[in-house]
Amino acid sequence: MEENQKKVPAKRLDIVQVKLVREKTMLYKNRRIRSPHDAYELMKEFLGIVDREHFIVLCMDTKNQPTCIQTVHIGSLNSSIVHPREVLKMGILSNAASILVGHNHPSNDTTPSPEDIAVTKRLIEAGELIGIEVIDHLILCEDNFRSLKEEGYM
């Protein structure tokens, strides 16, 4: 070893494991998502009554049977900043064949914002890269919803 070189101390590296943890369960009587309305009913039951925007990911198997559901982001009264990595992480960890996403509008107006449309397109592109289909994006309100797929945004 040359005189000018200093010995660099070893760096400790963490050995980790990534896994999903079940917090609780809920019953879904229909077993399979057959329509946007089915997904709306399930998401609405999961979400309950909230005063801020919640972005939800519903993971499904190859038969469109829900396997898990999670709120991946809670925003403010009128916005929720969502990144594809947070949404798709859930799908990857649960080995989902597809996902269905949704978020609520506390204003009770189902009109999609430009941001809603942009995030939907980003999620579709990211899902295609990793092999998880984004089936639909629902905007949930108290007594109605809007499917961005049915509206032609996807």
Q: What is the pLDDT of residues 99-109, one digit of tens each?
A: 999 999 988 99
Residue 6 has pLDDT above 70, yes or no: yes
CA angle 64, 69, 70 (to 5 degrees): 150
Domains for the chain: give ranges and CATH numbers.
36-147 (3.40.140.10)
pTM summary value = 0.85
- In this prediction, residues 14-29 reach a mean pLDDT of 86
Mean pLDDT confidence for 75-90: 81
pLDDT band per the 50, 70, 90 thresholds, residue 16 = confident
pLDDT of residue 89: 94
Q: What is the pLDDT of residues 102-138, one digit of tens each?
A: 999 988 999 999 999 999 999 999 999 999 999 999 9
pLDDT at 77: 61
State what percent of residues in the chain have pLDDT above 90: 65
pLDDT surpassing 70 at residue 24? yes
